[in-house]
Amino acid sequence: MSRKRSMIIGTAALAGTAVLSLSLSACGKADMTKQSSPFAAAKGSKSVTLSTQTWVGAQSNVAVAKYLLEKKLGYHVDTVQVDEIPAWDALSQGRVDAILEDWGHPEQEQRYVKDKKTITAGGGNGVTGHIGWYVPKYWADKHPEVKSWKNLNKFADQLKTSESGNKGQLMDGSPSYVTNDKALVKNLKLNYEVVFAGSEAAQITQIQQFAKEKKPFLTYWYEPQWLFNQVPMVEVKLPKYTDACAEKGTKDPESIDCAYPTTPLQKFFNTEFAKKGGSASAFLKNFKWTKDDQNEVSESIASGGLSADEAAKRWVEKHPEVWKKWLPKK
Amino acid sequence: MSFFGTPPISQRYLDTVKPAPVQQLLRRPGLGKLLLLAVAAAVIVPLLHAKFGAAWPSSLTIDVSGPLGKTSDWIIDNRDSHPLFVYFLGHLSNAVVISVRGVYLLLLALGWTGVTAGVTLIAWRVAGVRIAATALISFLVSGLLGMWVPTMQTFALMVVAVAVSVVVGALLGLAAGLSDRLFKILRPVLDTMQVLPAFAYLLPVVLVFGIGVPAALLATVIYAAPPMARLTALGLRGADPGVLEAVSSLGATGRQRLLTARLPLARKELLLGVNQTIMMALGMVVIASMIGAAGLGDRVYQALASVDVGAALAAAIPIVLLAIVMDRTTAAAGERLGADTAATGPKWLRGWQAWTGIAVVTAALALAGRLSGSLVWPGAWAVDVARPVNDFKEWMVDHLYSGIPVIGGTADWAAHFTDWVLNPLRDGLTALPWYGTLLIVAALAWLIGTWRTALTAVLAMAAIGVLGVWKPSMNTLSQVIAALAVTLVVGFGIGILAAGSKRFEAILRPVLDVMQTMPQFVYLIPVVALFAVGRAPAAAAAVVYALPAVIRITTQGLRQVDPAAMESARSLGATRWQMLRQVQLPLARPSLLLAVNQGVVMVLAVVIIGGLVGGGALGYDVVTGLATGDLALGLVAGVAIVCLGLMLDRVTQPTERRTAGKGA
């Protein structure tokens, strides 16, 4: 009997706590734009929340920024891993203070930066990104003509898999990535089937597997990326990128028939954080490095087996001349 | 018991039935239904074909992307100002943050010594020494793996999520248990909550609450509350009418009757509900991390980004351990409820003394930990499992992927499976005219159930067409059928072996535990590494996930076969094979059907993971919807998965539902 009663009491107590905490906060308006993680700043310190994206390059930015913010500026840093578009949403709401690497989201920029003004552009992070089609170097060395899209149809047979049927396989990655590959295959009349790996983890695993067996493959991929150091790849030339083609593409994505642009990667801040973020926001505004710097950190995370913190520490110790410039002047 | 050992007789019997006249055929209900259906089809199909053609007619689809897009825009524009958000949802969100933070700070204040001691002692009190030892080891292992802080974050989130789910579920269950009308209304709602893939509602939840713990908690509650509601309703409805009669004859009011008789009588179901809710909530840990739940799930998710199986496993092991500890503790507490335990054990282990003792010891150890200056796990006591695990994975892949003489490597098998099973199935299902598919579904569902079953199944399929996702749904259906077939063949096989040997079952049990609780994200990389990107690794992931349930239910079903029937069979000199085929399997039929049903549900649950490894179709659409903030794409694909689930349920679950009507 006593156990049953204690169970009922326990449940009642829990329900009571929930109701109590609800009513405690229920005096007046609740600000949906000012909410942080319950795990943030448990030590009662100044805190910053950064968004990490799934690819390792973005994790490297965050790792180094986090390390310096914690060690040099005395902040507590939380990281949240979310997909790109939800991350914009979180930035607008103040759940996240900064995105350190954005690959271009014109629709979101229009909505949040220009219309609602809840997000402020933070300038480039110094790295230029590029999306393209890549083949492994060991294969391209044997067949140099594969490096142009015009010859791809000749190689379709070699790239067949059971997923692509009787066409060649062009592997795409995560659904969150910007891709025109289906339109490109159609408009360039290529005898290829776009197979979506579904996630970057799956795509990388498959590339590593192909490379181990020295098999040919054709994949959507991007720079900067640590995997290049492990599996050397060369780009396949697509029809030249032009502004006219891009404009046509924004009107009708189905009509795109040229290569991807090169994108200087951008930082974005929550507007309030940009204004009142103190030394943290000043530091993040100054944050700017190169592709080589980023790749150095990325590789020690992804294939060196280091934790992001350790990789950041190692880089910070080696390159004081780069990050000293980021620290806000006192 | 003369139906075995004498095949000639049954053969002769069959021979006499074969040339039976038409009337006799019609007397068999199945054939009658089929004939009726065939006649109806002969009339309707040509008309349909002439009007619409073989592909799902575009005039019969509705495009929901417009309204759904507008809804999502409205939410984003009004989220910071509309009263609904400012005065209600905002407070809800704040309450969640405050509660989770409260529990988290308490756990941190107790330190690793206090938490470990507290959990171990509570497990000892409610579940016994063996489970207490499991709890102790589990928490120490979490610390050793360097996962103490994320484990505490997940633990805090779980405590609040389970509490809310239990309260919400119990209230719903109470309503359904007391009112027949509410019971009828709630059933389809609960069905949908359970079958709708969690990914599909991550996005709407994020739109409303934004990224973070409140959204993650809400998504977890939606997923974890239904079993509590179902079991509460089941418990209340199943109460012995004799007892209730007696209580009312004593002049008890409705409320008194509920509190003194119905609820106490249902306590076993209630506790089972809590147990199920905990397991479901833990199943959401990794998925919820996709919308910022932090904790262990986030570690798994981040490790995957750098393709580090070892690190993912290091974060997944504490999840598995938490699940095992919480499952065993609540299950044991449930079993003890049934038995009269008040008289067992030494006195100081019972009643309030025990609870005080637990509190005192926990406080003392917490204080000791605090004084020794290590609130979180001491960093030096950590074991690095990531490297050996990765080495093992590499070794496995190097040796199994391809080039094994004669049998080929896993990549070759995967390619054969795709070429010989998945491709023909997919091409067949996509090529089949839509009315043909509906007709087959109708026939299967009608043969196995009533015309209502058939109607539900057909309507579910039609809904898929109306939503405009017929083709990807047929692709997904082909993958589900293939994975289900493999799961059932392997699962029944292993289940039969386990039913025959206690020792084999004992060895199998921990393996199944791990398979069932291991977050599916962890085997995302290994399946790709072994089976190459595509639909084959998706099927492999589904089989791994669904197999334990099928094996368990099969084993249990075969074990429960009436021993008297077995004994008489044995005395008649039946061989083991004959006994299995002619006594055990037919008698265990209900269990086997339940296994099929569970297999369907679980294979469908992995369709999304399949999307992450190249399964494409609906799974990929749901993931894309979440990643690109496309409410329409993700939600429609999610609803299509529910419809497939509904249809498969109706064509695999015969009569039971109608006759037994077992609960919700």
Over residues B173-182, mean pLDDT: 84
pLDDT at A317 (0 to 100): 93
Q: What is the pLDDT of residue B490?
A: 94
Q: Which residues of B touch A174 (CB under 8 A)?
A: 627
**What mean pLDDT do residues B288-312 have?**
82
Q: Which residue among B104, B167, B525 sits closest to A39, beta carbon to beta carbon?
A: B104
- The answer to whether the CB of B439 falls within 8 A of the CB of B470 is no
For B512-555, the pLDDT digits (tens) are 888 877 888 888 888 888 888 888 889 999 999 889 888 988 88
Instruction: Give the pLDDT of residue B305.
Output: 73
Among residues B305, B539, B530, the alpha carbon closest in space to that of A176 is found at B305
Transcribe A155-180 into DSSP letters: HGGGG--TTTTTSEEEEE--TTS---
B385 pLDDT more than 80: no
**Any chain A CB within 8 A of the CB of B404?**
no
DSSP 8-state secondary structure symbol assigned to residue B467: T
Longest dimension (CA), chain B: 91
Going by C-beta distance under 8 Å and a sequence separation of 6 or more, which residues neighbour residue B216?
A: B157, B288, B289, B291, B292, B293
Pair A252, A152: CB distance under 8 Å = no
- Asked if residues B317 and B517 have their Cβ atoms less than 8 Å apart, the reply is no
What does the pLDDT look like over B583-627, one tens digit per residue? 888 888 878 888 888 888 888 888 888 888 888 889 899 888 888
pLDDT of A221 reads 92
A59 touches chain B (CB under 8 A): yes
CA dist B659 → A84, A124, B36, B190, B239 (Å):
51, 68, 24, 21, 19
A249 CA to chain B: closest CA distance, Å?
18
The pLDDT, as a whole number, for residue B652 is: 80
Q: Of A5, A50, A162, which to mutate for an interface test with B (greatest number of B Cβ within 10 Å)?
A: A162
Higher per-residue confidence, B33 vs B286 = B286
Looking at chain B from residue 283 to 342, which residues have their Cβ under 8 Å from any Cβ of chain A?
Answer: 289-292, 294-295, 298, 301-302, 304-308, 337
**Highest mean pLDDT (candidates A228-242, B444-458, B550-564):** A228-242
Size of the A and B interface in Cβ pairs below 8 Å: 253
B169 has pLDDT over 70: yes
Mean confidence (pLDDT) of chain B: 80
- Residues B556, B547 contacting (CB under 8 angstroms): no
Chain A residues 99-158 with CB within 8 Å of chain B = 111, 116
Average pLDDT of span B27-47: 73
**A50: which strand partners?**
A79, A98
Rounded average pLDDT over B62-81: 80
CA distances from residue B271 to B106, B277, B327, B333 in whole angstroms, order as listed:
26, 10, 11, 8
Smallest CA–CA distance, residue A31 to chain B, in Å, is 6
Chain B CB contacts of A29 under 8 Å are 86-87, 90
Task: Write the pLDDT tens digit of every residue in B330-360.
Answer: 888 777 765 554 445 555 556 667 777 777 7
User: What is the CA B31 to chain-centroid distance, rounded?
Assistant: 35
Range of A224-233, A312-321, B67-76, B559-568 with top mean pLDDT: A312-321
B residues 241-270 closer than 8 Å to A (CB): 264, 267
Cβ(A104)–Cβ(A252) under 8 Å? no
Residue B2: pLDDT band (50, 70, 90) is: very low
Largest Cα separation within chain A, whole Å, is 82
Grade residue B658 by pLDDT with cuts at 50, 70 and 90: very low
- When pLDDT is averaged across residues B291-296 and rounded to a whole number, the result is 83
Question: Which residues are CB-contacts of B623 (< 8 A; sequence separation ≥ 6)?
Answer: A175, A198, A199, B199, B608, B611, B612, B634
* pLDDT of res. B45: 75
Q: Do the chains contact at B612 and A199, CB–CB below 8 Å?
A: yes
User: Taking 80 as the threshold, does the pLDDT of residue B87 lie above it?
Assistant: no
Query: Could you tell me the sign of the dihedral formed by the alpha carbons of B478, B285, A60, B384, in that order?
Result: negative
Amino acid residing at A228: F
- Across the interface, whether the CB atoms of A205 and B291 are under 8 A apart is answered no
| Shortest CA distance from B214: residue in chain A | A37
Which residue numbers in chain A have pLDDT < 70? 1-37, 40-45, 330
Mean pLDDT along residues B278-307: 83
Q: Test A89 with B76 for CB contact under 8 angstroms.
A: yes
The pTM for the full model equals 0.81
Q: Does B386 sit within 8 Å of A30, measured CB to CB?
A: no
Does A89 sit within 8 Å of B206, measured CB to CB?
A: yes
Exposure string for A3-24, b = 16+ CB within 10 A, e = fewer: beeebeeebeebbebbeebbee
Closest Cα in chain A, distance from residue B367 (Å): 19
Find chain B residues with C-beta within 8 A of A21's C-beta.
95, 98-99, 102
Provide the percentage of residues in chain B whose pLDDT is more than 90. Answer: 7
